[in-house]
Amino acid sequence: MPLDFVVPMALAYLMFTVGLDVRPGDFRALAAAPAVVLAGFAAQMLGLPLIAVAIALVVGLPGDLAVGLIILAAAPGGVTSGFVTAMVRGDVALSVVLTVGTSLAAIVSVPLVVGAALAHFTGVETALALPLGRTVAAIFVTVIVPLTAALIVARRWPRWTGRARQPLRRIGVAVFLALIGVAIAGEWRTIAAEAPRIGLAVVLLNLATMALGYGIGRLAGASPARARAILIECGLQNVALALLVAGPILRRPDLGGVATVYALVMNLSALALILALNRAQAAKAAD
């Protein structure tokens, strides 16, 4: 079975398990906190590209690598961010809103940011456009449909949902780990080749963007749960879209090496965060 089918279905399953814990009221509650939602969008769409530019200049990246870093930073949040947000007890509704919103906005924002980066760092002016149909279809299949299905199931069959929630979540953990394993194994040669050149910049980007997400969330008055959602949304980028921009759109697959290395770093940091917060929660419950 081709990965082009398996991966979207796996992502849809993760979103379904997350949706079982979400209620329509969780989305309505966000209307009462517009500053938090706007802070999330600002961190993702403005803060990340600016941080990438700063890191590229400080580290002294060559022009092509700098563009690759900015392509990654301009990409919207990844679909797995909702699952990771649930695992760290963040606000899943906020995570979903940010994922969908930044993914749709990326149709306009990514060409603008990447075009400016190419012009500045390489002197090449290139017009590019994201495929509207493909972008919307990906959001529909991996986010909207499974989330809506989960909301309906939880409402119509609450007893079954209560019994099935934890077993389904455990399967979700296995699916999430399998996705990480497949992604790393399939690109290990690229990761090993590119890590020495781009590793430091990628780690700095991951740490800085997560810090920005949590910090701007708290400054906007977000609860710890909502701030964690913004943190995850900023730290887990849509690597597949970044690779699409670098490869089929720009026809510069060499620019995708940054995103490939970042896929390893962001998933390792997500796993570390999950383990740390769950251990802290367990220790707090034991006291």
Backbone angles phi, psi at 121, to 5 degrees: -90, -20
Cβ(205)–Cβ(24) below 8 Å:
no
pLDDT in tens, 118-145: 998 988 888 788 888 888 888 889 999 9
Backbone angles phi, psi at 54, to 5 degrees: -60, -45
pLDDT in tens, 9-46: 999 999 999 899 888 899 999 999 999 999 999 999 99
Q: What is the CATH number of the domain that holds 225?
A: 1.20.1530.20
Can you give the pLDDT at residue 2? 65
Minimal CA–CA distance to 110: which of 218, 215, 250? 250
pTM for this prediction: 0.92
Range of the domain at 268: 3-286
* CA 255, chain centre distance (Å): 19
Backbone angles phi, psi at 182, to 5 degrees: -65, -45
Tell me the CB-side half-sphere exposure of residue 199, using CA atoms within 13 A: 8
> How far are the Cα atoms of 39, 41, 258 from residue 47, in angstroms, in the given order?
10, 9, 19
> How far is 15 from 25, CA to CA, in rounded Å?
18
If one counts the domains in the chain, the total is 1
